[in-house]
Structures are given as structure tokens and as C-alpha cells.
Amino acid sequence: MKELLKRLTEAYGPSGREGPVRRLIQEEIEPYVDSMEVDALGNLIARKGSGDKRVMLAAHMDQIGLVVTEADKKGFLRVHNVGYLRRPYALGCLVRFENGLRGVVAREVERDDPADMSLGKLFVDIGASSREEALERVPIGDMAVLEPQWAELGNGCVAAGALDDRAGCAMLIQTLKELGPCPCQVVAAFTTQEEVGLRGAKAAGYQVDPALCLALDVTLTGDTPKAERLPIGLGKGIAIKVMDSSVICAPQLVAQLEQTAQQAGIAWQREVLTHGGTDAGAVHVSRAGVPSGALSIPCRYTHSACEVVSLADIQAGVDLLTAWLSQGQR
Ligand code: CO
Ligand code: ZN
């Protein structure tokens, strides 16, 4: 799974431009699913098994990015965020455009306000020397992502960009690979545009019309120096979400997941997030309502070029999903 995760994090896929990630996933899951389709918003929807009950598992393919809004006379690109860009994390980073071109995120330096990180003060240096040259290489509307990184740290942790939510995609792909006979139909939805407001999941949830939905995504941790109080730690297991600002998870689903993890001896922790949301936020209010929950992979430095997760936590999520799906849901 490590090799798969690496390839997923290296694929280009800001919100609305998920094609390269989707193609990689299509190739990877083809032998393990019964059907695949791509909807009008670019969601990849794959089905496995034939029970009458549809269980939807959603992981988003998109990552945060930057979009070119203008270039100045000297050839520096002006940009806007696509999704919640954490500017201090972006500053000084290399970015990569879809055509492979690279640039550096820098900031106007003004003596009076060194802390000013507003987007208007950021620019991307692609080494162009005029507006014409810059826009010829990167037209207005082109999107960039933070340059992919990959490093293996201690204790089975990896550092990479876009682990939000390629780690969730890897967890879902691995579940499709490992899942044996199962009493329900599993619908794997690899969604688009989560980072700009759960847009892909809204359409996918309506189309799939599932009996239950689980979102698979990353969550914040509270285990770094001076982190806010949050009892979630890296390497401590898969997090079972109780609520965040987009969804209050169905209590019976939360209880069932916790019980399954407990019985199977899978490391888990409970997640209550006071901000942030995930695809379950859109799916649980679709049609007449869908009992929904989420499994979250603890992730440090979310939305930076070097997010950090534990491979063991992802595998714990795979183990929990396969155990929960194969026992059938009440
Ligand atoms: Co995110
Ligand atoms: Zn995410």
C-alpha cells in the first residue's frame, strides 16, 4: 500500500482538475470491482458485490491548490486559493502546474508589516520576465498544487503532500482489494471538489442513493507541541468520527463501528472535531437523509506540502472497513 500511496500523492489533482488522480485509481481498482462510471462532476463511482443494501464509501480525490488570476509587468503570477490554503505553509514552496511547469510561492516584502500573509501579497515566480511571457507559459485560470514530496519518517510515518485525501483514497482502494464476500453492495465513490465545499459528494450521494454512507478522510491531531486540545494522535489507530462542523454522525453507526473495532482488536480512537468537514456532510442530507459517519486518518500539518500520517493508522482503517462490511450492517 505504501507504493500505491506514494503514486497517489504524486498525481496532480486540485479541485475540479482531478483527471490524473482518477485515471490512476481507475487502473488500480479495475480488477477488484464489478462496474465503474464517471459522472458529470468527475466523481468515479465503482460498485462491488450484489446485496440489495448499498453502502457508500466516499474519499475525495482533490487537493488544495492555487489558480492564476493575473501576471504583473515583470512576469510574476498573481494567484487565488482553491480550497483552504494555509498561507504560511505555502510560502517558500515549489508549486507545479498541470503542464509540469514549476514556480516558487513568495511574498511582497514590506517593512511595515512583515506578518502580512494576505493573498494579495503573495505571488508565484516562474522565472518569466514580462506579463506576456508569464501568461504564455501559464494562462489565467491554470491551477498549481504544492510540489509533491515523499519521505519515510520514523515509526511507520510518511510525509507527503496531498495525503488529504489520497490517504483516504488509498484506504478505500486497499479495502476493495482485501474485501471478500459481503452481504451488501459496496459503492466506492472517489469524489471531486471536496476542498471547495463537498460539491462532488453532493451529486454522488444523490445518484448512489445509499442506505448508509461513510466518508474516509484525514483529521487533525492534537499531539504536536502546543497543539490545541484534541485527543487524537498519530499512530494511535483509525479515528471514528462522532461529529465535525459538517455532520453529526448517526449514533448507531458510530456505536457499530466502535464495537467492530473493539471485537476485532483494531486500534481506534474517537473523533470530535470542532471545525472542518468532510463528504459525509453533503451525503447525509441528500434526498430523504442518509445515516452517515466517517473514518478519519490522523494527519499532522494538514494542507501543507508535508502532511504526515502513520501507515499503521491507514491499515487499521482498512481492517475496520473489511470487518464491518463483511459482517453486514444491522
Ligand atoms: Co482538506
Ligand atoms: Zn480532506
**Which pLDDT value is given to residue 87?**
85
What is the rounded CA–CA span in Å between residue 22 and residue 15?
Answer: 12
Determine the residue type at 18: E
pLDDT of residue 142: 98
Q: pLDDT at position 327, please?
A: 87
pLDDT of residue 19: 98
Distance CA 196, CA 232 (A): 25
Question: Tell me, what amino acid is at 283?
Answer: V
Q: What distance in angstroms lies between residue 195's CA and the mean position of ligand 1's atoms?
A: 6
Residue 91 contacts residue 109 (beta carbons within 8 Å): no
> Mean pLDDT across the chain, nearest whole number?
95
Task: Give the residues of the chain that fall short of pLDDT 50.
Answer: none
Neighbours of 150 (CB within 10 A): 15
Give the closest ligand to the alpha carbon of residue 84.
Answer: 1
- Ligand 2 centroid from CA 287, angstroms: 23
Q: Are 277 and 244 in contact (CB under 8 A)?
A: yes
Ordered alpha helix ranges (H), the chain: 2-10, 19-29, 87-90, 131-137, 163-178, 199-208, 251-264, 280-283, 311-327
Provide the pLDDT for residue 46.
98
Ligand nearest to the CA of 61: 2
CA–centroid distance, 165 to ligand 2, in Å, is 5
Looking only at the bridges linking them, the beta strands covering 143-146 and 65-71 are antiparallel
Residues carrying an active site annotation: 194
Q: Are 194 and 204 in contact (CB under 8 A)?
A: no
**DSSP notation for 197-215:** TSHHHHHHHHHH--SEEEE
Phi, psi of 260 (to 5 degrees): -60, -45
| Residue 245 C-alpha from the chain's centroid | 17
CB within 8 Å of 13: residues ≥ 6 apart: 19, 20, 21, 22, 61, 62, 63, 145, 162
The pLDDT of residue 322 is: 97
- Ligand 2 centroid to Cα of residue 166, in Å, is 8
